[in-house]
Amino acid sequence: MTIRIAVFDSKRYDRAGLDTANQRYGYEITYFEDRLNRHTTPLVAGFDVVCPFVNDKLDRTVIAELKRQGVKLIALRCAGFNGVDIVAAAEMGIPVTRVPAYSPEAVAEHVFALLLTLVRKTHRAYQRIREGNFSLDGLVGFNLHGRTFGVVGAGKIGIAAMNIAKGFGCRVLANDNNASPERAAELGCEFVDLPTLLAQSDIVSLHAPLTPATQHMINAETLALMKHGSVIINTSRGGLIDTKALLRALKTGKLFGVGLDVYEYEEGVFFEDLSHEALKDDMLARLTTFPNVMITSHQGFLTEEALTAIAETVLENVTAFQNGQPLVNVVKPGA
């Protein structure tokens, strides 16, 4: 029997990657631009597998409907799984798989695309030159060499970011649950607690997963610990930062710059073309007015290499499930 897969929140680049990978598997794949949520569950009728993305919402009600419709596997095509009720899925016997590591370098390199743009103000210089303004006034930046680069979350992406930072000549601090002297020596970093990292770092790069413990880990209190003139880069999950507190810190001039590839209320905005309408999110609209804030629309994963790896892993997860093999990328309650 041919496995039928429903891919939700799909774009042209998703389809290209999955179609290419599927040439080896021969699954029947149908693409939906809609996100999977309570309103779109009728679309799953007749499918064996659903393939949601990072902003799809699979709560207990949705998962119960998937179960009723005969869906046997939730195959996420992202690393994050905070949009899925993992406990409900386990109770209803629907495994959830993810793509834990597609191309850590893709996201880590995007960190430095945002960072270098901010610290050398190339986005402002680009706009000036287009308008015939060749003045350098107001474009003074700072060297990365000799600065302290703090990584919150030393997983695969965090480690890739550390390696790049060391190449720039940065001192590297890290905060992670899995810290040890042996691991510090292996990675070439210093493990410290979060307050120490925030107080000593010139650049703070967030790579932690979004959990109840990490929700709004960057807030008014932790922002107050940071150096005046430091930089925050978030390419992980938007909910790690309390946006209201971030706006207050920006207004006071506390931060040299902020680079965001994620935003806590990005659902329904990121990945979409909203150029024909007013931006309804007042906080996001305010963020776009700051000249020292760079926002990209969850773009860190968007390289040919990463898209290929995502597609391959998704279909490998489906194949393992179909063949009754161990699901190496399964997400279990309590993960």
* Phi, psi of 4, deg, nearest 5: -105, 125
Catalytic residue among 267, 298, 312, 316: 298
- Could you say which DSSP state residue 41 is in? G
- Is 237 annotated in the active site? yes
d(CA 209, CA 87): 18
Catalytic residue among 266, 267, 312, 316: 266
Decide if 217 contacts 208 (C-beta within 8 A).
yes
- Any residues with CB less than 8 A from the CB of 120 and at least 6 apart, and which? 139, 141
Q: Give first-to-last CA distance, the chain, whole Å.
A: 32
pLDDT in tens, 47-73: 999 999 988 999 999 999 999 999 999
Task: List the structure tokens of 209.
Answer: 């997963």
Q: All domains of the chain, ordered by start, with CATH?
A: 4-102+303-322 (3.40.50.720), 104-295 (3.40.50.720)
Catalytic residue among 237, 264, 267, 316: 237
- Is 38 annotated in the active site? no
pLDDT in tens, 136-178: 999 999 999 999 999 999 999 999 999 999 999 999 999 999 9
d(CA 219, CA 177): 20
Residue 26 confidence (pLDDT) above 90:
yes
